[in-house]
């Protein structure tokens, strides 16, 4: 979620790429936690090597959040073509599968693109393949929401098939609900679907795969400074515009900082509490991203 705000790109990252530039003919995968400077690094790389930039960040796809997700701004977009930013409207279905279907023809057209973002599941789907599960009907999604609200996560977990139960993160309500919905809609467990995964669009060994691993203290300070910069650029106004249609369960409402600013606008918390809570939420999000990258992208080349 880095670009648009031109806080200096970490010089160590830039120096590392200048000293050992990636093969200009191959695509670059660039993963990193929020506020690590990855959008600026992607911009530098794209300009230096004649590449386009493709978004792999699940928050930056949403049309209504430009400032709050630090989407690349007009001056960035004027310098290098950017794809898959801000093109998902409120109420439009969007998932990892939608992203993979959107990114596939772009990679065919731009074989040396920089694919940059903080959403690990996007990178995994791209490099390892994604099971082609049919879309979940709205009625089943509503049934799942009601079941979770009435009977809780434990109950939903107990209804999963054994293979899926053994495989997924049982502490993550979104994952558990997804697995329940797939089983309910298709009669097949998620784990069973995943066995039939088609080959990946872009195998890891056909790309330069880079993951940014910044120091925690540096990143947390940068997150705090960047949130203040977002407020200066109109993040509160962006959230206020969405207040009449706010739905805490909608995927677009997961933009980090949005729930806290909504709580302030609704008079539930003070301004100072909203800002500190939003910064803390962003830092926690960065921590989850770092853990995920460490566990799941261990074979990617680390940028300090």
Domain identity same for 89 and 146: no
CATH number at residue 21: 3.40.50.300
Closest by CA position to 207, among listed 112, 82, 128, 84: 112
- Domain boundary (195, 210, 239) is at 195
Dihedral of CA 119/8/84/110: which sign? negative
**Count helices and strands in the chain by DSSP H and E runs:** 13, 6
Do 163 and 231 fall into the same domain?
no
Pick from 59, 62, 16: nearest CA to 35: 59
CA distances from 210 to 110, 261, 287 (A): 19, 33, 18
**Domain check: are 289 and 227 in the same one?**
yes
Strand order in the sheet with 301-303: 82-83, 53-55, 114-117, 28-31, 208-212, 301-303
64 & 92 share domain:
yes
208, 184: one domain: no
Q: How many CA atoms lie within 13 A of 136 on its CB side?
A: 24
List the chain pLDDT tens, one digit each, 304 residues. 334 444 445 677 888 888 889 999 999 999 999 999 999 999 999 999 999 999 999 999 999 999 999 999 999 999 999 999 999 999 898 999 999 999 999 999 999 999 999 999 999 999 999 988 888 999 999 999 999 999 999 999 999 999 999 999 898 888 999 999 999 999 999 999 988 889 999 999 999 999 999 999 999 999 999 999 999 999 999 999 999 999 998 999 999 999 999 999 999 999 999 999 999 999 999 999 999 999 999 999 998 7
Q: How many domains does the chain have?
A: 2
Closest C-alpha among 135, 91, 83 to residue 110:
83
Domain of residue 269 covers 1-130+200-304
Q: Do residues 121 and 182 share a domain?
A: no
Kind of pairing between the strands at 28-31 and 208-212: parallel
pTM of the model: 0.84
Give the angle subtended at the CA of 284 by the CAs of 176 and 168, to the nearest 5°: 20
Q: Which two tokens stand for residue 303?
A: 């940028």
Residues 95 and 242 in one domain: yes
Q: Are residues 126 and 148 in the same domain?
A: no
Are 10 and 117 in the same domain? yes
Nearest to 62 by CA among 86, 83, 82: 86
116/206 same-domain check: yes
Residues 173 and 68 in one domain: no
Burial 248-271 (b: 16+ CB within 10 A, else e): eeebbbebbbbbbbbbbbeeebee
CATH of residue 187's domain is 1.10.20.140
Specify whether 63 is located in the same domain as 124. Answer: yes
């Amino acid at each position: 979620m880095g670009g648009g705000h031109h806080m200096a790109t970490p010089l160590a990252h830039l120096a590392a790429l200048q000293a050992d530039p990636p093969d200009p003919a191959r695509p670059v995968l660039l993963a990193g936690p929020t506020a690590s400077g990855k959008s600026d690094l992607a911009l530098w790389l794209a300009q230096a090597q004649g590449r386009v930039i493709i978004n792999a960040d699940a928050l930056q796809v949403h049309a209504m959040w430009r400032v709050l997700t630090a989407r690349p701004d007009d001056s960035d977009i004027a310098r290098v073509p950017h794809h898959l930013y801000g093109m998902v409207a409120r109420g439009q279905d969007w998932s990892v599968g939608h992203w993979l279907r959107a990114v596939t023809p772009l990679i065919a057209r731009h074989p040396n693109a920089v694919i940059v973002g903080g959403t690990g599941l996007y990178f995994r789907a791209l490099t390892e393949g994604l099971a082609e599960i049919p879309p979940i009907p709205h009625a089943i999604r509503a049934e799942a929401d009601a079941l979770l609200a009435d009977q809780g996560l434990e109950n939903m977990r107990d209804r999963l098939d054994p293979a899926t139960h053994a495989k997924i993160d049982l502490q993550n309500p979104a994952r558990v609900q997804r697995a329940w919905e797939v089983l309910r809609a298709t009669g097949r467990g998620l784990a069973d679907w995943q066995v039939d995964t088609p080959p990946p669009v872009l195998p890891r060994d056909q790309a330069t795969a880079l993951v940014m691993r910044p120091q925690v203290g540096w990143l947390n300070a940068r997150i705090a400074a960047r949130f203040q910069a977002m407020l200066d650029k109109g993040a509160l106004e962006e959230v206020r515009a969405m207040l009449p249609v706010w739905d805490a369960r909608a995927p677009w409402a997961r933009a980090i900082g949005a729930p806290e600013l909504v709580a302030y606008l609704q008079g539930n918390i003070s301004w100072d509490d909203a800002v500190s809570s939003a910064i803390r939420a962003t830092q926690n999000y960065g921590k989850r991203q770092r853990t995920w990258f460490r566990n799941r992208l261990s074979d990617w080349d680390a940028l300090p």
